[in-house]
Amino acid sequence: MYDYMLGGKDNLGVDRAAIDQLTRHIPEAVPIAKANRAFLQRAVRQLAAAGIRQFLDLGSGLPTQGNVHEIVREASPDAKVVYVDHDPVVAAHARALLEEEGRVVFLQADLLRPTELLAAPEVTGFLDLSEPVAVLLVSILHFVQDAGDPAGMVKILRDALAPGSYLVLTHAVATIGREQAEESAKDVYRGSSTGGATGRTEAEIRAFFGDFELVEPGLVQVSDWRPDHPEILRDEALPGYLLAGVGRKMAK
């Protein structure tokens, strides 16, 4: 479904029908998906330029253009990227298209089990968690219901990271007055492999960062996070349905 919104070719009729249903209620869904992907790329580019050499991309999705390892490589050819997704279709595509000996690995795992995920050989044999890592949770936590304890799950990840590590996150916002649109989104995603979508308040989204320090400009509407072309984006400003932020783990 996300691939279809990004203009990709790896999607089925059922994905396209679901997104067509979604956009009838939320016409901004496609530009928001594109803004989400552009944010991920800006954040990764800036972290790589700032010297981060290890990336853990959770809920990485189908390979598309401008994948994390391709962006990272512009700044650092020897950087390492671990992609993680639980979807078997994503796994098949990602293994074929993304994996590169010694630099890029794919792990099929459920991020609801972070302790298991962090102990997987694809992670322990590849990343050095005593050094800074950027963990990406981009457009993924709203697919985790409260019953799955997303806050507890993200805390386990934060605690496992070394000072100087980063958390990169986008999350759908629960918006007052948009209940019908949200119900429609819930319906569409309930029928997907994710099982449903949950918008959260700004305070709930901020809490995912724990004691990590949000870098400038803080938690903002996704296309307002360090835009490449602010003058263009101002004309196309999207409503604040998706918040984005990057937090840094400080030394104790």
Binding region for ligand SAM (CB under 6 A): 2, 36-37, 40, 59-61, 85-87, 90, 110-112, 138-140, 143, 193-194
Cα distance between residue 184 and residue 116, in whole Å = 34
- Alpha helix (H) ranges present in 50-171? 68-75, 88-97, 114-119, 121-124, 150-160
Q: Which is nearer to ligand SAM, 59 or 227 (CB)?
A: 59
Q: Which is nearer to ligand SAM, 19 or 215 (CB)?
A: 19
Q: Which of 171, 153, 187 is nearest to 222 (CA)?
A: 171
**Cβ atoms 68, 138 nearer than 8 A:** no
Q: Which is nearer to ligand SAM, 65 or 193 (CB)?
A: 193
Q: Least CB distance from residue 41 to ligand SAM, whole Å?
A: 9
Q: Which of 226, 224, 228 is nearest to 241 (CA)?
A: 224
Q: Which is nearer to ligand SAM, 40 or 123 (CB)?
A: 40
Q: Least CB distance from residue 252 to ligand SAM, whole Å?
A: 30
AA letter at 216: E
Q: Least CB distance from residue 148 to ligand SAM, whole Å?
A: 7
Residue 200 main-chain phi, psi, to 5 deg: -130, 165
Q: Which is nearer to ligand SAM, 65 or 76 (CB)?
A: 65
Q: Least CB distance from residue 51 to ligand SAM, whole Å?
A: 23
Q: Least CB distance from residue 48 to ligand SAM, whole Å?
A: 16
Angle between the N-to-C axes of helices 13-25 and 179-190, in degrees from 0 to 180, rounded to the nearest 10? 170
